[in-house]
Amino acid sequence: MIGSRFAALALLLTACGGEVAVATPTPHCRPAPSLVQPSAAAAPVSATADQAQVDPGSTVTFTETAAGPATVQVDCSQPLQVVVTDGTGLSVYSGDSPPAPATACGEVTLASGAAETYQVTWPVDSSLPGGTYTATLVLGDAPELTLTLAVGTLPGEC
């Protein structure tokens, strides 16, 4: 009896040119986290990344600056090194900057207001899954600095 009523209603709607609307669920999305330019500092050094979120296959440039008054021992052949790890602590990349000029390596003594800047680039592998990655920057005997970046689409983005 109920089945025949639905059949009659469907026939009536069809005969009158009506359409039966089918509701489709809207995916539940969380807002994406707010991404700001990554930075870190521990005297006498500070570091930044040129972007907070990068697509696989792109590059990220890290800049570390040593500021005076300070003395820092810096390797001449590989002044700034970077090690990138994924959320589980697995290393996904390591690299270093080009050799430094003689004035920016060895024992670098910086007067108040003076600074030396070093850069290293991370070519993000195109096969890396989306997620949060940590870059650890090492400049000679200066404190290590860590920066957190997003690669690809983060969980929660739509």
Residues 81-99, mean pLDDT to the nearest whole number: 96
Burial class (CB in 10 A: 0-12, 13-18, 19+), 52: middle
Task: Please report, for the chain, the start and end positions of each structural domain, with discontinuous segments joined by +.
Answer: 38-151
Confidence band of 153 (pLDDT split at 50, 70, 90): confident
Residue 9: predicted pLDDT: 42
pTM of the predicted protein model: 0.75
User: For 38-151, which CATH class?
Assistant: mainly beta
R_g (Cα) of the chain, nearest Å: 27
Residue 155: predicted pLDDT: 54
Chain segment 125-148, per-residue pLDDT in tens:
999 999 999 999 999 999 999 999
